[in-house]
Structure 1
Amino acid sequence: MQNTLFPVFLKTETAHFLIVGGGNVGLEKAETLLKQNSSIRLTIVATYFHPKLTKIISQHENISFFERPFEEKDIENKDFVIITTDKSEINLEVRELAKSKGIKVNAADQPDLCDFYLGSIVTKGNLKIAISTNGKSPVLARRMREYFTEVIPDNIEDNINDLNKFRSNHKGSFQEKLADLNEITSGFQKIKKQKNSKKYKQLAFTLAVSFSMLFIGYGLSTIVSISDVKYGLSHVPNEFYGMLLIGFLAQLVDGAVGLGYGVTCATSMMLLGINLPAISGSIHTAEMFSSGVSGYSHYKFGNVNKKLLLWLAIPGVFGAISGAMLLIYLGNKYVKIAYIVLSIYTMIIGIRLIILAYRKVKEKKKIGNTGFLGFSGGFLDAFGGGGWGPIVTSTLLSKGRKSNYVVGTVSLAEFFVTLAAAVTFFASLGVSHWYIITGLILGGITAAPLAAKLAGKLPQKTALLLVATLVIVFSVRILLKVF
């Protein structure tokens, strides 16, 4: 079927709309019109009014309403009619009356009765985008609206005003003005965006491959014979299987919810009595691979905000290096103190997860000090073997940001943070606990794509409470063991 729709932006100051029906659909249509113009002339006729619609009517003097069945006189002096009842005979009657008077009609979920559609609308100041699927899939149109609302920056209004001033002050001919405007706005082209996107993927892939080759090369250099390899494979300790499971579950939760990998692994390994710098070094070495796969998966699914990524990743790298160096110093000289500090730290993280689980969704607020957030998250993550997600993700979510974009951006930034920490530990300690590292890597990589697919779909509260309970219990056990 050919799409013959012609998009038109209607000035609503002089238009008078009639809505027939006051249920859920009538409420939705009224909200849509009022969102575009709160002073729009609106008349609603219905035998039932949704309580929320009644409240909206009481707040707007420009809305007239009649609680009764539709009558022929209701259509007089109306410019547009929107039908929202679930009675097909009423819908058809209203449609025929409107058609006889030359009035355009929209009938909810009945494309054959429609003269026009109310598309999903993206509004950013003077920028307005209307999206339609020709009545085939309103759900897809709504999803597209949510996508464009997120990716179009809030300060686009500044660009519009600047371009308007340039256009008004330009003294050249129409063709010269058009050429200059095309040149100025060329930075918005999709091709350029795609090129910049490829740079992120290439950088992440190159760094991951380079460090993995260094890591594997170093390991192979310490295994001088095939018999040693066979012996090692035949004597795989139980820690490998435990870390395989922990790596899978931790990455599944971390990739889907945005936190929990490091603290889960750290508390588990502390219970095994592993050296503290080796714990954080092993976790970050393994997490570098899983976070790389997770970050790429989120990028592929469109869950990454590139501007926020830079503000988190760069300071986070410096924080990770600082935290790793401090842990190396304390872990070698003050082991017992370091264990106590880290146990208390992971317990606090567990409590923070519980608070996050019961936190009410807040309205979207401006994010301040993003660089400091990235630095502190990277520092504590490297020092404690985890915490990047509980600190950074929870802070961004508390500002009302969408879960999938927060999780995706934080996951990709985590790759660079864990890479910096892993390199620092590697340079100071070399590689130890191969079986633990391998188990974490294989478990994490296996779970990463599945976790990215589930981002924003898993019950976040349940996942957070489970991780928090596990971390707190492990932290208490570690403190009891130390004392």
Structure 2
Amino acid sequence: MNNTLFPVFLKTETAHFLIVGGGNVGLEKTETLLKQNPKINITIVAPYFHPSLISIIEKADNNVKAFQRPFEETDLMDKDFVIITTDKPEINLLVRELAREQKIKVNAADQPDLCDFYLGSIINKGNLKIAISTNGKSPVLAKRMREYFTEVIPDTIEDNLTILNEFRKNHKGDFQEKLNDLNQITQNFVPKTKPKETKNYKRLAFTLALSFLMFFTGYGLSTVVSFSDIKLGLQLVPKEFYYMLLVGFFAQLVDGAVGLGYGVTCATSMMLLGVKLPAISGSIHTAEMFSSAISGFSHYKFGNVNKKLLLWLSFFGVIGAILGAMALIYIGNQYEQIAYIILSSYTFIIGIRLIVLAFRKIHLKKRIKYLGFLGFSGGFMDAFGGGGWGPIVTSTLLAKGRNSKYVIGTVSLSEFFVTLAASIVFFTSLGVSHWYIILGLIIGGIVAAPIAAKLAGKLPQKAALLFVAALVIVFSMRVFLKIIN
């Protein structure tokens, strides 16, 4: 079971909340609590208070107290729940540890690893209250679901609740009779499902129509292109195309199931098959360019992108990608054996880095001194090795204590510009001579995508990283041994 949360509705009159942090997030959490109960007991501790939060505190009764100073351990006295909203990981970690020592439940904004409970998106319709949680995976989706149900559920639902409550109180029968009558009254609230026979009929009609369309299309094409022409055309397709179908399928299966590893999985697999080195990276980047564009746009739309970080990573990443692609084309053509050794060593190191990332613990936020160099080296090695932008850049930023939501969103969007730059260089130098490799990767990935989606989340994060690392290391070692033998 992936989601072990047990939803409860808390009577807030009996609880005292401590909010550590007075910025935008502290303001949001305070508004959320007061919206559910204007009389809830809240204590806010922070060196700085948002102007809107100050206004709320001034207008509130004595149930909202504020102290403009750093957090102290004594602030935890007589508190039932703690909500951490600061942007300083070291303070968040300290508050979490002190709270847990005193058996106080903790919620930390955008840090699921520190949370004992989550604050879900809440729908209020009079006495009807619905809470939505995504198990800390996507608060944005929970927010969209809240907006949807708020619109769909009519405001008159309160009238229905009042009538049903009066009926329940005045009903003179026993519990079972009361339950049966209430079920009969409310059965119209649930839309009736259509008879199974109707569904079967529609499915049969659709299948027959689709079959006829396929037959009609096939018959029409047969008058233009004969079976022998198709057979001859298939014989002209390079055998590498079919290998790339398998590579694309396997790489997408891995990437879709565990969240990373597409590039390095493709690169190591294609090296084993003896594909030319420039064609390896060029094909991977072309196939990956489309997926990175969609992924990056989605992150930008949901506000997961740090624009300043995006500018630094994209600018230097593009420069690194161009130089990496040019270096691979030159070395791959002039010194192919040496390039294979370099590339297999690089993918081996990426595998080791994934193992380190798998066992990484929570890190305190640290200053990144050479952000431009990180983008450049990630872009260079990604273009030269056919993959590695995520394992290099993402793991480094996470190791420095950066917020995972903004790291993943920013790195995903910047990856589009990096892959685009590398693809342009490869196409300019190599043309489209390796079209069958790109097409094989794309088709294989499309077939694997729905299967990978079903596998997503089945493996714990640590196990997933170790699985990909093992594949990359084994493949890299096989390529290296193949070269020296």
Bin of the TM-score, shorter chain as denominator length: 0.5 to 0.7
- Answer whether contact 1:244 1:442 (CA < 8 A) is retained: yes
- Answer whether contact 2:322 2:425 (CA < 8 A) is retained: yes
Match of 1:32 among 82, 86, 109: 82
Structure 2 CA distance for partners of 1:445 and 1:365, relative to 1, 3 Å: farther
SS in structure 2 at match of 1:32: strand
Distance 2:365 2:402 in 1: 6
- Answer whether contact 2:83 2:108 (CA < 8 A) is retained: no
Per-residue CA distance 1:348-384 (angstroms, 9 max, x = gap): 1111111111111223444443222111100011111
- Answer whether contact 2:57 2:64 (CA < 8 A) is retained: no
Structure 1 residue 120: Cα displacement: 10
Letter in 2 for 1:9: I
After TM superposition, the structure 1 = structure 2 runs for residues 6-405 of structure 1, keeping only pairs within 5 Å, are 9-10=56-57, 30-32=80-82, 55-56=101-102, 133-134=123-124, 136-137=129-130, 140=133, 231-234=232-235, 236=237, 239-251=240-252, 253-254=254-255, 259-299=260-300, 303-405=304-406
Letter in 2 for 1:400: G
Per-residue CA distance 1:307-350 (angstroms, 9 max, x = gap): 43222222111110000111111111111111111111111111
- Answer whether contact 1:255 1:407 (CA < 8 A) is retained: no
SS in structure 1 at match of 2:56: coil
Structure 1 residue 244: Cα displacement: 2.8
Which ranges in structure 1 are unaligned for 5 or more consecutive residues? 18-25, 37-50, 58-83, 85-107, 109-118, 123-129, 149-224
Structure 2 CA distance for partners of 1:457 and 1:138, relative to 1, 3 Å: farther
- Answer whether contact 2:286 2:438 (CA < 8 A) is retained: yes
Structure 2 CA distance for partners of 1:274 and 1:306, relative to 1, 3 Å: same
Structure 1 residue 259: Cα displacement: 3.4
Distance 2:278 2:61 in 1: 67
- Answer whether contact 1:258 1:389 (CA < 8 A) is retained: no
SS in structure 1 at match of 2:468: helix
Distance 1:144 1:28 in 2: 31
Structure 1 residue 448: Cα displacement: 6.6
SS in structure 2 at match of 1:400: coil
Quote the residue 2:217 is aligned against. none
Quote the residue 1:439 is aligned against. 440
- Answer whether contact 2:293 2:413 (CA < 8 A) is retained: yes
- Answer whether contact 1:251 1:290 (CA < 8 A) is retained: no
Structure 2 CA distance for partners of 1:404 and 1:345, relative to 1, 3 Å: same
Distance 2:137 2:261 in 1: 31
Letter in 2 for 1:332: N
Number of residue-to-residue matches in the alignment: 318
- Answer whether contact 2:84 2:108 (CA < 8 A) is retained: no
Letter in 1 for 2:282: G
Letter in 1 for 2:271: M
Distance 2:397 2:379 in 1: 15
- Answer whether contact 2:82 2:99 (CA < 8 A) is retained: no
Structure 1 residue 131: Cα displacement: 8.4
- Answer whether contact 1:312 1:413 (CA < 8 A) is retained: yes
Quote the residue 2:429 is aligned against. 428
Structure 2 CA distance for partners of 1:35 and 1:280, relative to 1, 3 Å: closer
Structure 2 CA distance for partners of 1:356 and 1:296, relative to 1, 3 Å: same
Per-residue CA distance 1:225-254 (angstroms, 9 max, x = gap): 999886343555554344334324434544
Which ranges in structure 2 are unaligned for 5 or more consecutive residues? 1-34, 40-54, 66-75, 87-96, 111-119, 142-224
Distance 1:31 1:272 in 2: 57
Structure 2 CA distance for partners of 1:16 and 1:318, relative to 1, 3 Å: closer
Which shows bigger deviation, 359-368 or 284-293?
Answer: 359-368
Distance 1:142 1:478 in 2: 41
- Answer whether contact 2:375 2:393 (CA < 8 A) is retained: yes
TM-score by length of 2: 0.54
Structure 2 CA distance for partners of 1:145 and 1:30, relative to 1, 3 Å: farther
- Answer whether contact 1:287 1:440 (CA < 8 A) is retained: no
Quote the residue 1:80 is aligned against. none
Quote the residue 1:81 is aligned against. none
Cα RMSD after superposing both structures: 4.6
Letter in 2 for 1:317: V
Letter in 1 for 2:340: Y
Which shows bigger deviation, 460-469 or 261-270?
Answer: 460-469
Distance 2:345 2:266 in 1: 15
SS in structure 2 at match of 1:375: helix
Distance 1:295 1:238 in 2: 34
Distance 2:109 2:280 in 1: 50
Letter in 2 for 1:136: K
Structure 2 CA distance for partners of 1:342 and 1:31, relative to 1, 3 Å: same
Distance 2:266 2:255 in 1: 11
- Answer whether contact 2:121 2:133 (CA < 8 A) is retained: no
Q: Does 1:416 align with 2:417?
A: yes
SS in structure 2 at match of 1:136: strand
Which shows bigger deviation, 421-430 or 364-373?
Answer: 364-373
TM-score by length of 1: 0.54
Distance 1:387 1:431 in 2: 24
SS in structure 2 at match of 1:9: helix
Letter in 1 for 2:56: F
Letter in 1 for 2:262: Y
Structure 1 residue 465: Cα displacement: 1.2
Per-residue CA distance 1:397-455 (angstroms, 9 max, x = gap): 21233444433332222121111111101111112333221121233456679979998
Structure 2 CA distance for partners of 1:482 and 1:303, relative to 1, 3 Å: same
Per-residue CA distance 1:109-144 (angstroms, 9 max, x = gap): xxxxxxxxxx9999xxxxxxx986558345559969
Per-residue CA distance 1:150-200 (angstroms, 9 max, x = gap): xxxxxxxxxxxxxxxxxxxxxxxxxxxxxxxxxxxxxxxxxxxxxxxxxxx
- Answer whether contact 2:258 2:459 (CA < 8 A) is retained: yes
